Chains A and B, each alone.
Chain A
Amino acid sequence: MKAVRSLVLVSNDPDSVARGAQEVYRRIQEEVKAFGLQDEVAVTMVADIGRHDAVPMVMVYPEAVVYGPIRPDDVKTLVEEHLYKGRIAPGLMAPTRELTGRIAWLSARKGTLPAEQRIVLERAGVIDPEDIEDYIAHEGYVALGKALTEMQPADVIEEIARSGLRGRGGAGFPTGTKMKMVAREQHPKKYVICNADESEPGTFKDRLILEGDPHSIIEAMVLAAYAVGADEGFVYVRGEYVLAQARLKKAIAQAEEMGFLGQDIFGSGFNFKLHIHSGAGAYVCGEETALIESIEGKRGEPRPRPPYPTQVGLWGKPTLVNNVETLANLPPIIRNGASWFKQFGTPNSTGTKVYTILGNVNMTGLVEVPMGITLREVISIYAKGMRDGRTFKLAQTGGSSGSIIPAALQDTPMDFDSYAKAGVSLGSGALLICDEDTCVVDLAKVLMNFFRSESCGRCGPCRIGTERAHQILDAMSQGVGKLSDLNDLEMLANGLNQFSNCGLGQTAAVPIRDMLRHFRAEVEAHIKLKVCPAGACAMSGIAGRH
């Protein structure tokens, strides 16, 4: 196989065939020869290029331009313009995807969007995290005082439920509902846990909240404990977060001294003791039941669920587990009210989301924006565009447990429901933005390598499935994949998704599925042509390559 500069893929699904794909394929080969390009350009048919809206469709790499519908008569122009003259053939490009599900309120607010909306990061970078007085000067502990002296526990839960807040740890579970589940357990001992394990690669929003505003998490935990009737809590902080732990420790001591922790808080008779537990570094310990096992001093292996921690949690007691960012929303909601909170975001995904932006963009970092803005907006406004003016190809959300979002979905609002409808997930809030030099097979391989190393090994589908999937992806990236591998991958993904005990194994299926669903053509090119269209895979398994 020789190296080529361009790769032309023609869609070969039944629809395309019915509309003359074979003829288009033949004509492209003819024209490529006619222009003397046969040594530089490879042409192939692929089952599916990921879109069916304008068949037959032709995709040209490395630019990843999609043309369609292409009739045999269009071929000459396409080859001459794109492959010979090297510019995009005018008038032949597939229509840009229409903006699906764009919510009306968003366009109405269009003009006001670019500003960040800071709720959970309100004080980060403003106050001195080691000075409780600074926190108090910025409305600190007001929500707690209000709740303990003016509200019943049930009122607190009701306010949170009405705010529509949903978990920011990945699954988007309604926080008010979870609190109700713990509150209704009749048990003299209950716990609250703050999940600050944050071991998703590329995610560091929780660290930033803990480092920049530790008192907000303390306040939130006392609030949550009061609401569900717990008197003891743990912040499970990732072991590597040394600075966050130190600041939290200091903050706890200050809060104890001033009576925001301990006995008879705000003279209400409510008591609460807060501990820090330092994690030991395994990714799976972020899963709530593994995290509980770990606090109990056992190996961090997920428990079968049900029973859920809300009923049988830490040391068998009803336990509320929430993510750092979720908790950080509680004080502002109690302070300002549910209606205030609901003005941000979309009707079903209220509030804001903190994203860590990484990858091939001009400005990496952290932003807090209303739920429901789009990837395109994140890239163009907050990330200040793609680096070196390159083309956006895909984004990977949420460390490893997120989805691979193709460019076609960049106008889908980023909120729980719109993303679920599009079959993708927000994950934990990392946005790895990739340009056209990123190979999807390579990306999936990297992710699978992560899952394979982090699988706790408790159940077979995950332990063996992630290992096998990694082998297959590795073979593809070396140019020695087989077409039957695609079926095997699909089967592995199904097995992982259905038979794994915990979220790690279940989400390990996601990159495989996303890859096959949105980038099938690129994957097939690795197998059939032994070419990596993005030029990222070494293809070192092919003999005699130059």
Chain B
Amino acid sequence: MPAVKSLEELRKLREEAIQKRKAKTTSGDVQITVAMGTCGIAAGARDTMRAVLDEIEANNLTGVIVKQTGCIGLCELEPIVMVEIGGQPKVTYGKVNVERARQIMKEHVVGGKVLSEYVIQSA
């Protein structure tokens, strides 16, 4: 990316970035975010992440974006995984071990059914 030399250029860049992100959600894309802070990783977030990727590959899922983020402050409930489908509200799952991750992929991401018993936040 080129160097930003003015506030105007930054604003433009920001607009583009926002649009890019919007386009992904309006096209109905699925965004899966795994919290990967130190305590998330300690609680097994890497395995969770691997399981998510594995499910995508095994089932040839398309339109799924997998992202990482930092800690959201609920260390007790790690590993934490957030699922956003299109413009629908973001669903946050807690204590997502490998098994739960696979279940979330199958039932929520593919099947469209929120697994309410594991939801810790929905907004």
Contact = CB atoms under 8 A, between A and B. Distances in A.
Q: A and B from one assembly?
A: yes
Interface of A: 121, 124-130, 132-134, 136-137, 139-142, 145-146, 149-150, 204, 207-208, 211-213, 241, 243-244, 257-260, 264, 266-267, 363-368
Specify which of B2, B38, B71, B75 lies most central, judged by the most chain A CB atoms within 10 Å of its CB: B71
B29 to A, nearest CB: 15
Contact of B70 (A142, A208, A267): A208
A267 B5 contact: yes
B50 interface: no
B23 interface: no
Interface string B1-43: 1111111001001100110110000000000010101110100
A368 B14 CA distance: 27
A211 B100 CA distance: 25
A453 B75 CA distance: 29
B21 A137 contact: yes
A141 B10 contact: yes
B73 A124 contact: yes
A257 B4 CA distance: 9
Contacts of A211: 37-38, 70-71
Contact of B4 (A212, A259, A364): A259
Given A243-B38, A364-B75, A141 B68 contact: no
Interface in B96-121: none
Question: 3 nearest interchain CB pairs?
Answer: A212-B70, A125-B72, A259-B3
A145 B6 CA distance: 7
B76 interface: yes
A258 B4 contact: yes
Contacts of B1: 132, 257-258
Interface of B: 1-7, 10, 13-14, 17-18, 20-21, 33, 35, 37-39, 41, 67-77, 80
A121 B6 contact: no
A128 B69 contact: yes
Contacts of B69: 124-129, 212
A124 B70 contact: yes
B74 A365 contact: yes
Contacts of B2: 258
Given A125-B35, A211-B38, A266 B7 contact: yes
Contacts, number: 108
Nearest to A131: B67
Contacts of B70: 124-125, 127, 129, 208, 211-213
Given A257-B3, A363-B74, 10 more contacts: A124-B69, A128-B69, A207-B38, A211-B38, A212-B69, A257-B1, A267-B5, A364-B75, A365-B73, A366-B75
Contacts of A364: 75-76
Contacts of A145: 4, 6-7, 10
Contacts of B35: 125
Residue among B17, B38, B69, B74 with max Cβ neighbours from chain A (10 Å): B69
A272 to B, nearest CB: 14
Contact of B18 (A127, A137, A244): A137
A517 to B, nearest CB: 32
A258 B69 CA distance: 22
Given A124-B73, A127-B69, A149-B7, A136 B41 contact: no
A136 B4 CA distance: 11
A121 to B, nearest CB: 7
A260 to B, nearest CB: 7
Given A259-B5, A266-B5, A266-B6, A366 B73 contact: yes
Contacts of B68: 128-130
Contacts of B17: 133-134, 136-137
Given A125-B35, A208-B37, A212-B70, A149 B6 contact: yes
Nearest to A364: B76
Nearest to A356: B75
A367 B74 CA distance: 8
A366 B2 CA distance: 37
A264 B5 CA distance: 8
A124 to B, nearest CB: 5
A299 B17 CA distance: 46
B76 A212 contact: no
A129 B80 CA distance: 16
Nearest to B74: A365
Nearest to A207: B38
A266 B6 CA distance: 5
A266 B10 CA distance: 9
Give the one of B35, B39, B80 with max A CB within 10 A: B39
Given A141-B4, A145-B6, A136 B73 contact: no
B71 A208 contact: yes
Nearest to A363: B76
A149 to B, nearest CB: 5
B93 to A, nearest CB: 13
B14 A137 contact: yes
Q: Which of A136, A257, A258, A364 has the most CB of B within 10 A?
A: A136
A133 B1 CA distance: 10
**Which residue of A132, A258, A264 has the most chain B CB atoms within 10 A of its CB atom?**
A258
Contacts of A213: 70
A139 B72 CA distance: 19
B67 A128 contact: yes
